[in-house]
Chains A and B, each alone.
Chain A
């Protein structure tokens, strides 16, 4: 099915471990985004990518690494997980960044709930 899929849906890891969250989209959208959603903070942008091999920091990039070797994949890696990174992570894609003339909506995956113990 076309769409955007995230894996795993749930992940529990220990402090200091490296963990990678996967995101795959079948629309060939040029832009992809990683957000985290926390109570009291809403949705915050971690990293985004305008195309393969082009990535840029968002609002809260510290402790995260991304790559985009293929247009359809945009994995997010926590290099050394901390308890403060316990959150729900959402991947999203768009045909264009939110600026004229390419005003296009964001399409979200169902999220990965990550718990760092």
Chain B
């Protein structure tokens, strides 16, 4: 089975940095994804990690440590539009199915 944990809510100020942690315990691992989801909309792909280390993509970076079952998503230079839910998802071995964490709601304040 899959067990994926991430904080429920986080609040930060515009222009600041926020780090969203995700820990996972899975029966198989073939990559970790981060998605952004605005209320009532579809999740949109942000990043993917399958090897240990940091992946940087503009203002967003994602880190993975497979031995620790740990990942984080780093959002820099926060903007109001970054207020959304951020979903951590793990892919199992042998298929494309994703198991999602409950999501972290980030609120950016002026």
Judge: A and B partners, yes or no.
Answer: no
A residues near B, CB below 8 A? none
